[in-house]
Structure 1
Amino acid sequence: MKSFRRHAASVNAGSMADIAFLLLIFFLVTTTISADKGILRQLPSICESGDCVADIAERNLLRVRVNEQQQIMIEDRVVKLTEIK
């Protein structure tokens, strides 16, 4: 009876690193990264006269304060920095 030896299958891992590197470069080059545009708000015009009081509706005001303990207060309520968007 002949005995057959089975050899363990091996995979050449050297070329796998090259392929992974090429795929990484491909996805980095082809991916578009969106930039933050910030908050788009129209600022009031510059007041050149001495009387610069404008009537602003109460619903358009947001009161933000920082107290002596360096806590942020929005509308008289203390909030954490992570809660602000």
Structure 2
Amino acid sequence: MKRHEVPEINTGSMADIAFLLLIFFLVTTTLEIDSGISLKIPPKNDIVNKTIVKNKNILEILINKKNELFVENEIIEISNLKQIAIDFIDNGGGKDINNTICDWCKGYRLPTSSDHPSKAVIYLKSDRATSYETYISVLDQLNSAYMNLRNKLAIQIYNQDYKSMIDDFKSSNKADIDLQNKINLIRQKYPLLISDAESIE
């Protein structure tokens, strides 16, 4: 009696197929990337080299390796930074480059503080050993100061706060040109001028 042989499955190409599938999934899979901080910090050289900035128009902030915060060489609490930044930006003690006063500024108009929001530069310097959390907290306070000033001005001019204007603009898929012009005007009146210096040793 003749024995029937069981046919074998050719597995020689299985490794090739598995390899091709692996490459396919690697190429087509999208990974979520942490976008980080959305703040665009202007390079230090752009401010120092292109424009002569008066000392009173610079608010110098230093974070040392112990995560202590110094403003104009005086140690402060991070919670106080927002109001210090607001007072500095909104001082309105002089004129802009077009010789125009800041008639929307609500500051004390001190001759020793910034002339105009368009000239008020915040100069942030940190130590290499500064913790990430402290650095982000400082940036958050500075962003909050700008948001506070922009909100107040937007309400004064348009009866709508700046944050909700941004939300409405995003929900319109950035198609509302009139709203975009309003947002740009608020940004021009309170431009975000933060210079992130190189880390100190």
Higher helix share: 2
TM-score clears 0.5: no
Is the radius of gyration larger for structure 1 or structure 2? 1
When normalised by structure 2's length, the TM-score is: 0.20
Could you state the TM-score of these two structures normalised by the residue count of structure 1?
A: 0.42
